[in-house]
Amino acid sequence: MSRNMLIAGNWKMNADAAQVDVFVKAVGDALDGAGLAADLLVCPPMVYIERMARALSGQPVAVGAQNIAAEVEPGAFTGEVNGAMLADCRASHVIVGHSERRALYGEADAIVATKADAAAAAGLVPIVCVGETLEQREAEQTEAVLAAQIDAILSQCRAATLESMIVAYEPIWAIGTGRSATPEQAQDVHAFLRAQIANRNATLAQSVQLLYGGSVKPDNAAALFAGADVDGALVGGASLTADSFLDIARAAV
């Protein structure tokens, strides 16, 4: 089965309104409404989602969120934003289970699965992140760690969530370090993840998009994308400027 490539930017807690405006102007000038071979998505800080989505209207670039409330229904959840609210702001995707949220905000597998379900219930595509630490890789625990993370999603999420989800493999040691996984390491892990998914659902394993994230740059993107099971990238730092984001996207053919 052929799968579309997706280049997704995760801006994390970076940029301001002026930088959003500069980015969308540059993207609009470069694309002029014409799509690339790869699908494009940018996830700015939550407060800029609607600004970015409105400004990119007519451009082949989707806008997503970096987090979502676990709760679906409105209520007394101070500081939280649910999926319906994100959809109201024109978000189409949401990142869940990023290693920064797992490590800094205590989001364990169960809450990641709940958030993925909450996203899908609101019509948003969940991008579920998994990844191992350097210590785990050096201890040859990579596959065990990833199996536990993806199995938690496969066993806990609703079928409709699984059918809509995207999975991002982000080795924690490669995030923001300038040390990307090698193309061989990325392909090996993606093939492993696809096999894990196939153990439960062979059809889903063929259709699910598997993104790689961790120090993806214009100069290493093409080699990473050559992996048969690498369906695009979740890009942090290099997604903050239109030039580098689009250069990475052009490497996906």
Ligand X SMILES: O=C[C@H](O)COP(=O)(O)O
Closer to ligand X by CB, 230 or 234: give it: 234
Residues whose CB falls within 8 Å of the CB of residue 113, separated by 6 or more in sequence, listed in order: 152, 153, 156, 157
Cβ 104 to ligand X shortest distance, Å:
12
Catalytic residue among 100, 107, 132, 170: 170
Residues 245 and 12: their CA atoms lie apart, in Å, by: 15
Cβ 127 to ligand X shortest distance, Å:
9
Q: Is the separation of the CB atoms in 115 and 126 below 8 Å?
A: yes
Closer to ligand X by CB, 104 or 202: give it: 104
Closer to ligand X by CB, 84 or 217: give it: 217
Residue 176 among known ligand-binding residues: yes
Catalytic residue among 93, 98, 107, 132: 98
Residues 232 and 4: their CA atoms lie apart, in Å, by: 8
Q: What is the largest CA-CA distance in the chain?
A: 48
Residues 12 and 239: their CA atoms lie apart, in Å, by: 10
Which structure tokens are listed for 76?
Answer: 């007394």
Q: Distance of CA 20 to CAs 134, 150, 169, 174, Å?
A: 33, 33, 26, 26
Query: To 5 degrees, how large is the angle CA 15–CA 31–CA 84?
Result: 55
Cβ 10 to ligand X shortest distance, Å:
3
Closer to ligand X by CB, 33 or 178: give it: 178
- Under DSSP, the state recorded for 172 is G
Q: Footprint of ligand X on this chain (CB under 6 A)?
A: 10, 98, 170, 175-176, 213-216, 234-238
Which structure tokens are listed for 249?
Answer: 């996207």
Residue 98 annotated to the active site: yes
Residue 4 among known ligand-binding residues: no
Residue 190 annotated to the active site: no
Residue nearest to ligand X (CB): 236
Residue 218: Cβ-neighbour burial (10 angstroms; 0-12, 13-18, 19+)? middle
Q: Distance of CA 71 to CAs 1, 2, 76, 103, Å?
A: 35, 35, 10, 21
Cβ 40 to ligand X shortest distance, Å:
15
Residue 11 among known ligand-binding residues: yes
Cβ 98 to ligand X shortest distance, Å:
6
Q: Nearest 5°: phi and psi at 127?
A: -105, 105
Closer to ligand X by CB, 28 or 45: give it: 45
Residue 12 among known ligand-binding residues: yes
Residues annotated in a binding site: 10-12, 176, 215, 236-237
Residues annotated in a binding site for substrate: 10-12, 176, 215, 236-237
The catalytic residues are 98, 170
